[in-house]
Amino acid sequence: MARQPLIAGNWKMNLNHLEAIALVQKIAFSLPEKYFAKVEVAVIPPFTDIRSVQTLIDGDKLLLKHGAQDVSEHESGAYTGEVSGPMLAKLGCSYVVVGHSERREHHAETDEVVNRKVRAVLKHGMSPILCVGEPLEVREAGGHVEHSTTQLINALKGLKTEQIRQVVVAYEPVWAIGTGKVATAADAQEVCAALRTALADKYGKEIADEVRVLYGGSVKSSNIGELIGQNDVDGALVGGASLNGDEFTKLSAMAAGGPLP
Ligand SMILES: O=C[C@H](O)COP(=O)(O)O
């Protein structure tokens, strides 16, 4: 079965709810509906924007999907500041980013925490966008494939084979995030293919062939074409370029095979 490309815009800690509405309107206005048959496009705003984005998408029956940038590993209770899986599911989230390198770095998230968050997302019928990827020193030492596949397998521990189908994997080399240093298409393909092979070894080829593997790290309209042209790259997790409506629209259209709107 052909995998539908996914372009997910991770806004990180940018845009208040009014700015979020303006950006979603801009994307919806600029990207003709026919593109959505070829590419799935999702916005991943901060928690405070999700209700506004959901209302707009549902109210105007937009074909855009939306998601969240993180989730608590807990269901409810005395966890000040946390947001749970049931809360995100109630807000119509399709996707939840889990294990982003910024959370691993600034919030000390281990593979074990990431694993519990992946389970929390799946339990409530959403898809995790599970981020893996190596820092610069690991890449320079040639350990990037092993590092990324180990993070992947650790994060999926204990899941049922059927649940793996719902997972989206994002390969994000840390050295390429927000730096303008995009991995070459061949670099991205090498690791994305290795991640798929690791899934096939553990869960079988049929499952591995269904799982979408994205690339993330300085993706723009100028490089998405080459990246998505790789056999095992099924889309992108886009940071900075997702904050610009024109650029994100262009990038999404290119992932759909164009022509540009
Ligand atoms: O989640 C998105 C990634 O961290 C990539 O961010 P970037 O496109 O700004 O490099």
pLDDT band of residue 183 (cuts 50, 70, 90) is confident
Ligand 1 center from residue 78 Cα (angstroms): 32
221, pLDDT greater than 70 = yes
Is 124 noted as a catalytic residue in this protein?
Answer: no
Show Cβ contacts of residue 12 under 8 Å, excluding neighbours closer than 6 positions.
46, 69, 102, 239
**Residue 173 beta carbon below 6 angstroms from any ligand 1 atom:** no
- Determine if residue 14 is labeled as part of a ligand binding site: no
User: Which positions ≥6 away from 102 have C-beta within 8 Å?
Assistant: 12, 177
Tokens of 223: 């490089």
* Beta bridge pairs of residue 95: 67, 127
Please tell me the predicted confidence (pLDDT) of residue 50.
98
* Ligand 1 closest atom vs CA 220: 8
Question: Which of 73, 102, 109, 172 is an active site residue?
Answer: 172
- Give me the mean pLDDT over the 165-191 stretch: 93
Which top CATH class is 6-255?
alpha beta
pLDDT level of residue 169 (50, 70, 90 thresholds): very high
The per-residue pLDDT for 260 is 73
> Quick check: 261 pLDDT over 80?
no
Which residues have CB under 8 Å from 47's CB, separation 6+? 68, 69, 83
**CA 45 – CA 32 distance, rounded (Å):** 22
- pLDDT band per the 50, 70, 90 thresholds, residue 108: very high
| 11 annotated as ligand-binding | yes
- Determine what percent of the chain is predicted with pLDDT higher than 90: 93
Which residue in the block uniquely carries the two structure tokens 């303006």? 22
Question: Chain-wide mean pLDDT for the chain?
Answer: 96
- One-letter amino acid of 220: K
- Phi, psi (degrees; rounded to nearest 5) at 139: -60, -45
Confidence band of 210 (pLDDT split at 50, 70, 90) = very high
184: closest CA among 229, 147, 143, 150? Answer: 229
Report CA(259)–ligand 1 centroid distance (Å): 25
Name the pLDDT band for 258 (thresholds 50, 70, 90).
confident
pLDDT tens digits along 96-105:
999 999 999 9
Question: How many Å lie between the centroid of ligand 1 and the Cα of residue 177?
Answer: 5
Residue burial 8-41, b: 16+ Cβ < 10 Å; e: rest: bbbbbebbebeebbebbeebbeebeeebbeebbb
**CA–CA separation, 72 and 84 (whole Å):** 5
For the stretch 24-74, pLDDT in tens is: 999 999 998 999 999 999 999 999 999 999 999 999 999 999 999 999 999
- What is the predicted ipTM? 0.99
List, for residues 109-140, the tens digit of each pLDDT value. Answer: 999 999 999 999 999 999 999 999 999 999 99
At 1 the pLDDT is 58
Give percent above pLDDT 70 in the chain.
99
Does ligand 1 have an atom closer than 6 angstroms to the CB of 216? yes
pLDDT at position 2: 85
> Where along the chain do its domains lie?
6-255
Clarify whether 147 is annotated catalytic: no
Is 25 in contact with 62 (CB distance < 8 Å)? Answer: no
Query: Measuring CA to CA, which residue among 161, 64, 153 is closest to residue 112?
Result: 153
pLDDT given for residue 181 in this prediction: 83
